[in-house]
Amino acid sequence: MSSPSELERDFATALLGGPDEAIITAIQGDGLDPAARVAIYRNHVFVTLTAALEATYPVVVRLVDRRFFAYAADRYIREHPPAGPCLFEYGATLADFLATFPACRHLAYLPDVVRLEWALNRALHAEDAVAIDPRSLAAAPPDEIGRLKLRLHPSVSLLESSWPIDRIWRANQPGEDPEATVSLDAGGARLEVYRLEDDVVFRPVPPSTYAFRQALACELDLQSAAEAARSADPSFDLTDALRELLDDGLIVGASATSPSPKNEGQRCKPTQRPR
């Protein structure tokens, strides 16, 4: 008799495509090869997790073809099974996985499209948060404004790509002309993704806005964020930039101390990949 953890480990190993010798010794045949019984469970694991990835990445499925996606998903599931029970949180690392997946090395733009779809998915399910009252910022003493740290709405992601991922995404929406093509030389994109009411939207943002909001997402204070923005565009105006952010309702907290780092990290990863 195996201990509880051994049996579960043996079963999990077999379910993720590893050897099933250990678990089948613990199983009764009941008129069928025990390995065939394990295969019923394994099939469910792969079918449902592949379906979950397909639901999160519909444009990627369209770009690479459903059969290829299922092939890549099979490898991804084996190497990166879910770390939590919520399917809408599964697949965060698919972009990094596909970036080094030999079979799609020729699709250099693909990982960034994956990142865009992940940002859209993430925004849809991000925690709710209420925008701060603009007057609360106006009330801060002018000499302390620069030291404030602003917390962006949890749905916000900033993405930078050398590829026209926004055009690629739009051209692959249901109902779009299937014959339409996007030139990969059409230039890169700097995008902001966020949730607006019940919808998730994205829009291109200018370099200084991108640098400013990315710095805020990385928990830099306002002064440092403004410096980052000015290095992208010397004409950057902090007052205007703050007003825009407040008008967009994307500031959900302001503090002189560091906000909880729990929700960050991921947004601060560089998203640009060399072409």
Partner 1 sequence: MIARDERSGVLPAHVGVGLRAPHVAEVMATRPAIAFFEVHTENYLGGGPAAAALERLRRDYAVSLHGVGLSLGGADPLDRRHLLRVKRLVERIQPALVSEHLAWSVDGGAYLNHLLPLPYDAMRLHATSLRIEQVQEALGRTILVENPARYLRFRHSPIPEPEFLGELARRTGCGILLDVNNVYVSSRNFDEDPLAYLNAVPAHAIAEIHLAGHATNHADGRTILIDDHGSRVAEPVWDLYRATLARLGPVPTLIEWDTNLPELAVLRDEAARAEQLLLTAQGRAHCVVAE
Residues contributing to the site for partner 1 (CB under 8 A): 1, 4-5, 7-9, 11-12, 15-16, 25-28, 30-34, 36-38, 40-41, 44-45, 48-49, 52, 81-89, 123-129, 154-155, 195, 198
> Nearest distance from residue 9's CB to partner 1, in Å?
6
H/E run at residue 11: helix 4-15
Kind of pairing between the strands at 199-204 and 189-196: antiparallel
- Helix axis angle, 110-125 relative to 34-56, nearest 10°? 90
Phi and psi torsions of 149, nearest 5° = -110, 130
User: What is the nearest approach in angstroms of partner 1 to the Cβ of residue 130?
Assistant: 11
Residue 55 CB-density burial (10 A; 0-12 exposed, 13-18 middle, 19+ buried) = middle
Q: How far apart are CA 261 and CA 220, in angstroms?
A: 12
Nearest to 168 by CA among 156, 158, 180, 160: 180
Nearest CB to partner 1, comparing residues 124 and 148: 124
SS3 (DSSP) at 192: strand
111/154 with CB nearer partner 1 = 154
Nearer to partner 1, 9 or 167 (CB): 9
- Nearest to partner 1 of 30, 143 (CB atom): 30
Least separation in angstroms between residue 122's CB and partner 1 is 9
CB of 47 to partner 1, least distance (A): 9
C-beta of 264: minimal distance to partner 1 in Å?
Answer: 16
Q: In this complex, which beta carbon is closest to partner 1, that of residue 73 or of residue 110?
A: 73
Name the minimum Å distance from CB 148 to partner 1: 25
Rank residues 23 and 215 by Cβ distance to partner 1 and give the closer one.
23
- φ and ψ at 104, to 5 degrees? -125, 30
User: Cα(265)–Cα(214) distance, rounded to whole angstroms?
Assistant: 11
DSSP-assigned letters across all residues of 154-175:
TT-EEEEESS-HHHHHHHTSTT
